[in-house]
Amino acid sequence: MSRATELILIADDDDDIARFIEVNLVLEGYEIAIASDGEQTLHTAYDRRPDLILLDIMMPKIDGYEVCQRLRNDPRTRNISIIMLTAKSMSADRVVGLTAGADDYMIKPFDPIELVARVKTALRRSAEMRSVNPLTQLPGNVQVQEQVSQHVASNRPFAVMYIDLDNFKAFNDYYGFLRGDEAIKLLARCAGEAVSDRGGFLGHVGGDDFIGIVTPEVSESVALKIIDRWDTKIVALYDREDLDRGYIEVVDRQKNQHRYPITTVSIGIASNTEKPIETHWEASEIASEMKSFAKRERRSSYAIARRRSEP
């Protein structure tokens, strides 16, 4: 059964079709709202913010194409999933619907089983997109927690890698947030390439913090690859005079001047092969502790937990 909090708006001027859809989706546990014309659809969408809209193309007042475009152009409704419903089967009509911003397209009459399947797929995809970090397009906090929890529950060997930049705030303050964003995206690429080469998972929990999950036997080689790629590529984000000098100078709020070296990366690694890990919180805590050990170095480095609190 689906979560009762998921609201689906059925926008169709044919009462029989709207009720047919409603009956099938209510049986699946969804909450339903119904609109019979384009204007009512827009008002309901703005007011109730449904998780999904089943949108008929041929509706009074405002047709489905225009409704879809308006929803996509409004920040309040931009990310709502939309499945267009139509009796038209021409490929050109499908293209117009998708171009207007629809996520999927169904031709009437449709099978109830297919309808429910399409709805579940659209809602699942929407939930995944909402948990993706907008800057790097990597899985965000929700998916990271789920992945770590799944590995903990499986009792199979795994290693959690906490990947973090050193002196990033100074870099961001000195060069500005646009270049700071470029540094974060660069770390995402460096870590993503190294982790994916080993069939692992990489998530972006926010800022310059990333979580990787790999098998224990490859964790150190993955860390070394991340470090090598980062140290090679980060220099491109520094101005030549700063790079030649080897540091940037940043003035704090008390007007004191501080020197910060070229930004490095620190990685903490926690593995359940050295000590059983009972929860995702424990995995994160150990990896974070190891990252703190790694940050003691003045260069890019990693630290791996050999015992509970020893790198």
Nearest to 161 by CA among 108, 213, 125, 224: 213
Is 136 a domain residue? Answer: no
Torsion-angle region of 206 (φ positive above 0: left; ψ -120 to 50: alpha; else: beta): left
Structure tokens at 71: 């929803």
Average pLDDT over all residues of the chain: 90
Domain shared by 182 and 289, yes or no:
yes
Domain shared by 166 and 125, yes or no:
no
Q: What angle do CA 128, 129, 132 make, to 5 degrees?
A: 90
Count of domains for the chain: 2
Q: What is the pLDDT of residue 94?
A: 60
Q: Is the pLDDT score of 180 beyond 90?
A: yes
Question: Which of 130, 161, 177 is the last residue in one of the domains?
Answer: 130
Q: Is the pLDDT score of 81 beyond 80?
A: yes
CATH label of the domain that carries residue 262 = 3.30.70.270
Q: Is the pLDDT score of 1 beyond 50?
A: no
Q: Is the pTM of this model over 0.85?
A: no
Residues 176, 84: Cα–Cα separation, whole Å: 43
| Contact of 209 with 184, CB cutoff 8 Å | no
| pLDDT band (50, 70, 90) for residue 239 | very high
Is 310 a domain residue? Answer: no
Domain shared by 282 and 174, yes or no:
yes
More confident residue, 297 or 128: 297
Range from 96-100, 113-117, 129-133, 175-179 carrying the lowest mean pLDDT:
96-100
Q: Is the pLDDT score of 153 beyond 50?
A: yes
Q: What is the pLDDT of residue 275?
A: 83
Residues 117, 100: Cα–Cα separation, whole Å: 23
Tokens 């998921």, located at residue? 6
Is 35 a domain residue? Answer: yes
Q: Summarize pLDDT for 25-58 with one digit per residue, the tens.
A: 999 999 999 999 999 999 999 999 999 999 998 8
Is 309 a domain residue? Answer: no
Domain shared by 91 and 160, yes or no:
no
Domain shared by 109 and 147, yes or no:
no
Is 43 a domain residue? Answer: yes
Residues 107, 21: Cα–Cα separation, whole Å: 13
Task: Please count the other Cβ atoms lying within 10 Å of the Cβ belonging to residue 241.
Answer: 8
Q: What is the pLDDT of residue 33?
A: 96
**What count of residues does the chain have?**
311
Domain membership of residue 40 as a residue range: 7-130
Q: Is the pLDDT score of 253 beyond 90?
A: no
Domain shared by 63 and 150, yes or no:
no
More confident residue, 132 or 269: 269
Q: What is the pLDDT of residue 107?
A: 86
Q: Where are the alpha helices (DSSP H) in 74-203?
A: 91-99, 112-130, 141-154, 168-175, 177-197
CATH label of the domain that carries residue 100 = 3.40.50.2300
Give every CB contact of residue 130 below 8 A, 6+ residues apart in sequence: 79
Section 239-246 average pLDDT:
96
Range from 83-87, 156-160, 227-231 carrying the lowest mean pLDDT:
83-87
Question: Which of 130, 158, 188 is the last residue in one of the domains?
Answer: 130
Domain shared by 152 and 84, yes or no:
no
Q: What is the pLDDT of residue 92?
A: 56
Q: What is the pLDDT of residue 247?
A: 96
Domain shared by 209 and 296, yes or no:
yes
Q: What is the pLDDT of residue 311?
A: 39
Domain shared by 17 and 164, yes or no:
no
Domain shared by 124 and 214, yes or no:
no
Domain shared by 125 and 152, yes or no:
no
Q: Is the pLDDT score of 2 beyond 50?
A: no
Q: Is the pLDDT score of 100 beyond 80?
A: no
Domain shared by 218 and 179, yes or no:
yes
Q: Is the pLDDT score of 3 beyond 80?
A: no
Is 1 a domain residue? Answer: no
Q: What is the pLDDT of residue 308?
A: 41
Is 110 a domain residue? Answer: yes
| pLDDT band (50, 70, 90) for residue 95 | low
Torsion-angle region of 230 (φ positive above 0: left; ψ -120 to 50: alpha; else: beta): alpha
Structure tokens at 23: 């009956």
Residues 12, 22: Cα–Cα separation, whole Å: 11
Q: Is the pLDDT score of 109 beyond 90?
A: no
Question: Which of 106, 130, 154 is the last residue in one of the domains?
Answer: 130
